[in-house]
Amino acid sequence: MQGILQPPMPKSWRKETKPHKFCPGCGHGIALKALGQAIDELGLQGIAVFGCDIGCSLLAWDFFDLDTVQTHHGRTIPVMVGLKRARPELICIAYMGDGGGYAIGAQHLVNAATRNEKITAILINNTQYGMTGGQMAPTTLPGQKTETTPYGRDPELTGYPTQGPEMVAAITDERAYVARGTVARPGQLREFFKRALQNQIDGRGFSFVEVISACPTNWRTNAKETWEWVEKLMPTYFRVGELKVPEALRGKGVEAKDEETP
């Protein structure tokens, strides 16, 4: 009965593995839905390969009806780079968290970006390490309490949140696509993903989308508080929008498509 009222699952989702394994209120489900829709709309199911990192993103290892490999912490970008170099006709998606992309695997993100590797990297920013139980991440907000910053993150001691897309935009050339979306605007996020994938389909260059996401489990927030974090607090540190759009991808009204709410 419930299914009748639900919007349909993306075609590229694997029905047999649903409901998925993420916590209630987790942002991964929304991000993966937007990604599934983007894959469907671009007709990539036969050629897209999904790579997922360690951390909560590993729970997506059987999420899609796509060939998928779950790699090591921080190493999804090199696995997808290796695959793309060996099989340029495939559309390679590296899916990771903020720890994987900005901490343990930062060298891979930086170098794949500077080499303009023709893959699409998607990074879920939920301001902490979810799977390991809520430690400080590179993206943790100043003052935010985590298991390793129990008195709040002190920027004097541990700096400010990593500005990932800004960094990637700074080190890539004009062939790269760089954006920051949010699970609060899934329609926009889907369009960002589509452009990021199109950039790879066109063989143009590296594409990177950070996704502002939620972790009510480790944030210990209720639904209302969670959405205040995602919609109000996080965008004060992480500006949502496209940072770098190759000329050929410009001109589509991304903002206009954002009529959906989660």
Partner 1 sequence: MEKPIEGEKKVFMTGNEVVAWAALAAGAEIMYGYPITPQNEIMHYWTRLAPKYGRMFLQTEDELSAGFTTIGGVMGGRRAFTATAGPGNVLMQEPMAMAEMMRLPVVVIIMQRGGPSTGTVIYSQQEVTLTTLGGNGEGFRIVYSTASNQELFDYVIKAFNTAWKYRFPTFVLGDGYQAKMREPLVIYDPEVRGISPVPAEPFLGKPGVPGVDRPPGHYRNTYNTEEELYEVIMGLARAYEAIIPEVVEFEEEAVEGAQLLVMSHGVVSRAAKSAVRALRRDGYPVGYFRPITLRPLPVEVMRRRAKEVRQILVAESAYGQFARLVKEALYGLQVEIVPLFRPGLGINPEDIYSRVQELIKGGEKGAGHIAATHA
Cβ nearer to partner 1, comparing 89 with 156:
89
At closest approach, how far in Å is the CB of 222 from partner 1? Answer: 28
The reply to whether 18 sits near partner 1 by the rule CB under 8 A is no
The reply to whether 118 sits near partner 1 by the rule CB under 8 A is no
Distance CA 57, CA 95 (A): 7
- Give the helix/strand (H/E) hosting 208: strand 207-212
The reply to whether 47 sits near partner 1 by the rule CB under 8 A is yes
At closest approach, how far in Å is the CB of 50 from partner 1? Answer: 9
Out of 37, 57, 70, 213, the residue judged to bind partner 1 by CB under 8 A: 70
Out of 25, 42, 72, 135, the residue judged to bind partner 1 by CB under 8 A: 72
Cβ nearer to partner 1, comparing 69 with 256:
69
Name the DSSP class of 220: T
CB 100 within 8 A of CB 73: yes
The reply to whether 203 sits near partner 1 by the rule CB under 8 A is no
Say which residues have a Cβ less than 8 Å from residue 240's Cβ, sequence separation at least 6: 180, 181, 182, 185, 188, 212
Distance CA 215, CA 202 (A): 34
Distance CA 83, CA 89 (A): 10
Token output for 86: 């060996």
- Give the helix/strand (H/E) hosting 178: strand 177-182
CA 84 to chain centre: 19
The reply to whether 75 sits near partner 1 by the rule CB under 8 A is yes
Distance CA 206, CA 172 (A): 8
Out of 37, 57, 68, 146, the residue judged to bind partner 1 by CB under 8 A: 68
Crossing angle of helices 186-201 and 28-42, rounded to 10°: 50
The reply to whether 214 sits near partner 1 by the rule CB under 8 A is no
Which range of residues in 78-86, 158-166, 171-179, 217-225 is near partner 1 by CB under 8 A? 78-86
Out of 23, 25, 42, 111, the residue judged to bind partner 1 by CB under 8 A: 111
The reply to whether 201 sits near partner 1 by the rule CB under 8 A is no
Out of 34, 38, 81, 214, the residue judged to bind partner 1 by CB under 8 A: 81
CB 201 within 8 A of CB 12: no
- Phi/psi at 118 (5° precision): -90, 60
The reply to whether 33 sits near partner 1 by the rule CB under 8 A is no
CB 179 within 8 A of CB 225: no
The reply to whether 61 sits near partner 1 by the rule CB under 8 A is yes
The reply to whether 78 sits near partner 1 by the rule CB under 8 A is yes
The reply to whether 245 sits near partner 1 by the rule CB under 8 A is no
| Residue ranges that bind partner 1, judged by CB under 8 A | 12, 14, 45-47, 49, 54, 58, 61-62, 64-72, 75, 78-87, 89-90, 107-108, 110-111
